[in-house]
Amino acid sequence: MFRVTSCVVIRRVAVVPHPPLLVDELVPGPNQAISALRAAVIDAVSWLRETDSHWVAVAVDAGPAAAFGPSVAGSFAGYGVDVVVSLSAGASGDEVSEPRELPLPVLIAGWLRGRAPAETVRADVLGVATSPDECAAFGRRLGESAEDAGLLVLGDGSNRHGDRAPGGRDDRAPGFDSAVAAALADVDAEALAGLDPVLAAELGAVGRAPWQVAAGVAAGGSWRGSLLYSDAPFGVGYHVALWESP
């Protein structure tokens, strides 16, 4: 069972992917596909920062569920370059003795916090097998809490687009990610809540659970959405969307 460790009221949601290629230092040199994706993601978190300097991030990881507070720092050294990021603008080398080994989406959340820049981000990481019902319940608890924060939802689509995809080709991948993109654009909480976890797992779509948490936040409310980006330039579906509640 997951617990909301601080109170939040969610009025803005930014949905982004979390590939390491977003980080400039990890992918030097010009690349049009990466630049387009990176620009959309930075636009999304900059928009989130317009109203919220404190964020809650939701993602999944292969390990156990965990929460990471604003005092945490980590490094992308495991991905080839020692780029240190923190979950708080106040976290410095003096306050964090040693950057921790962190799940990739938490590292990306910290990197995006710095790019926005936001004051803090708290990251709640779910297990990849978290059920749709558990995701919905977690999202409802976030939405029913009582202190303003922006919600950063980190998750990738299927990794099986085309013959060179990391997960190998699966002809179901384009249809799956097209449906996800439409649901994110329309803030269709019912469609996101209805994503099949078995199919998502077969397609390598690790965003399924975070998207379903976002659906739990939005369920029954009045939201408007826009889709900034949706493509699979490297065989993985990446979606960038903005949701706002009046």
The CATH number given to whatever domain includes residue 127 is 3.40.830.10
In a domain, 47, yes or no: yes
Domain coverage including residue 56:
9-244
Query: Contact 180/239 with Cβ under 8 angstroms?
Result: yes
The tens digit of pLDDT for each residue in 156-197 reads 999 999 999 999 999 999 999 999 999 999 999 999 999 999
In a domain, 119, yes or no: yes
What pTM value is reported for the model? 0.93
pLDDT of residue 68: 95
pLDDT of residue 144: 79
In a domain, 2, yes or no: no
CB neighbours of residue 201 within 10 Å: 13
pLDDT of residue 149: 92
Handedness of CA 178, 23, 160, 205 (dihedral sign): negative
Query: Contact 154/106 with Cβ under 8 angstroms?
Result: no
- E strands present in the chain: 9-16, 54-61, 66-68, 73-75, 84-86, 120-127, 148-154, 224-231, 238-244
In a domain, 4, yes or no: no
Whole-Å CA distances, 240 to 2, 215, 245: 26, 15, 17
Structural domain total, the chain:
1
Residues of the chain with pLDDT under 70: 1-8, 91-98, 146-147
In a domain, 173, yes or no: yes
By C-alpha distance, which of 157, 163, 150, 244 is closest to 209?
157
